[in-house]
Amino acid sequence: MNLIYTWKMSPPGASRLADTPTFPAAVFAVVLAAAVVATDGARATVPALQGRVQDIAQAERPLGDDHYLAGDIAGQVDHHVLYFGLDDVASRHLQTADVLFLGNSRLMFALRPEVLGPEFAALGLSYYALGFGSREADRFPLAILRKFDLRPRVVVVNADGFFIRWLSAWAEAVNRDTPFAARKLRLEAEASHRARQALHVVAPHWLSIFGRPGLGQARGFNIYRSRIDGTWEISPWPSATSTFAPPPAAGPAIGRGERAAALAFKAEMDRRGITLILTRVPTPEPHGGAGPARFAELLKVPLVLAEPPGLTSADHSHLDAPSAFDWSREFMAVLAPHLGGAGRAPVR
C-alpha cells in the first residue's frame, strides 16, 4: 500500500526533475512570466494601478560618469567604497579636499552641490561631503580620517547625534570585511540594483506601493554619490509633508559619554591641525542628546546655524528638495566668513 500511495503522489521522474540544476531557474522563469502577464492585465483593466511603480523603478542616475551607486532599498554601499578606497577618483578628491563635511543622512540630503560648488570656487577651496546614512556618528568618519591620514584645513560637523562613539550596522560590516569582499559587494549591489529597476517595472511589489496591512506604505529612495565632492543625488526625492520650526540650539545638557566623545574628537582635530566648526541641519525630530550650542561651548569652536523660514521635511527627518536648496544658500552665506579663501587661514 505504501508503495502504491507513494507512486501515485510522486509520478516517475518527478524527483529526478526537481533535482536537475536547471529546475530552480525554470520555476523562477515560469513564476516571473506569470507575474508579468498578470501585472500587465491588471494595469489594463484597473485604473488605480495605471502608472503605479515602485520608487526604485523611478530612480534616475545622474548623467555622465561622475556618480556611483551609494545605496538603494537593499542597503548602502558607500561605506565600503570610501573606507576601502574602491573608487580612485572619489578617493583622490576626498584626500585633497580643503573642507570636509561630516554627519548623518540629514546632512547629505541638505548639502546641494549646485549651491556649494560656485561658492567654494569663489573662495578658491575644495570640499568633500563625508557623511553617511544609517545614523552614522563619529567613529566611522574618524576611522577614515586615520586610515588615509586626512588633514583638511576645516572639518564641519553636523552635531545632531554625532558625538556618541557609535557604529552603524553597515560600519560594523566594513570592520568584518576584506578589500576583496568589499569589491564583490559593490559589483553585486550594482548588478542587483539594475535588475530590480527593470523587474519592478514589469512585476512590482504591490504591497510596497499600496502599503502593508498595519505597516503603511513602504517608501524608499536611491542614492548616487558624486565622485568629485561626495554629495548625494536622491532619486526619487520624497515629497514634502508639512512645515516645521527647528528646536532650540542648546537642547539637553551634555551627557558624560557625549562629553568624552566630543573632547576626544576635538583632540584628534587639533593633532591634525584641523579647524573644527559645528552646525546642525534643521529637522523636526533631532536624534537626541545635547544640542550643537552646548557642544560648541564645550569645545570652544564656532557654531554656524542656518534656519531659513518655511522649511519643509520629506519624512519628518530629512529636508525636501526646495528646503535643501534654501538651507544650503543660507548656510554658505554664514559659513564662508569662517573659511577664508585661497592662501588665507580660516578664522579660528
Q: Which three cell numbers stand for residue 268?
A: 584628534
Look up cell 502504491; give the residue. Answer: 4
Which residue do the cell numbers 552646548 mark?
Answer: 294
Q: Where are the alpha helices (DSSP H) in 23-83?
A: 23-45, 55-58, 78-83
Higher pLDDT, 74 or 96: 96
Strand, helix or coil for residue 102: strand
Query: Is residue 13 over pLDDT 90?
Result: no
Q: What is the pLDDT of residues 152-187, one digit of tens each?
A: 999 999 999 999 999 999 899 999 999 999 999 999
Record the cell numbers describing residue 58, joined without a space: 523611478
Q: Is 115:330 a contact under the CB 8 Å cutoff?
A: no
Helix (H) or strand (E) holding 69: strand 67-72
CB 301 within 8 A of CB 278: yes
Computed from CA positions of residues 267, 273, 275, 276, in that sequence, does the dihedral angle turn out positive or negative? negative
Pairing between β-strand 99-102 and β-strand 154-158 as defined by DSSP bridges: parallel
Check if the beta carbon of residue 89 is closer than 8 Å to that of residue 267.
no
Q: Residue 3 pLDDT more than 50?
A: no
Report helix, strand or coil for 210. helix
Instruction: Name the residue among 176, 238, 185 with its Cα closest to residue 69.
Output: 185
Each residue's pLDDT tens digit, 255-313: 999 999 999 999 999 999 999 999 999 998 888 889 999 999 999 999 999 999 999 98
Which run of H or E residues covers position 176? helix 169-176
Distance CA 342, CA 204 (A): 51
State mean pLDDT over 320-336.
96
- State mean pLDDT over 66-78: 85
Rounded CA separation 317/286 (Å): 8
pLDDT tens digit sequence for 80-134: 999 999 999 999 999 999 999 999 999 999 999 999 999 999 999 999 999 999 8
Q: Cell 576645516 belongs to which residue?
A: 154
H or E, element range at 147: helix 139-147
User: Could you tell me the residue ranges of all domains in the chain?
Assistant: 15-49, 80-180+222-339
C-alpha–C-alpha distance, residues 318 and 108, integer Å: 9
Residue % of the chain over a pLDDT of 70: 74
Give the three cell numbers for residue 112: 546641494
CATH no. for 80-180+222-339: 3.40.50.1110
Name, in order, each residue with C-beta under 8 angstroms of 255's C-beta and a sequence gap of 6 or more. 289, 290
3-class DSSP state for residue 248? coil
Backbone angles phi, psi at 250, to 5 degrees: -80, -55
pLDDT reported for residue 240: 74
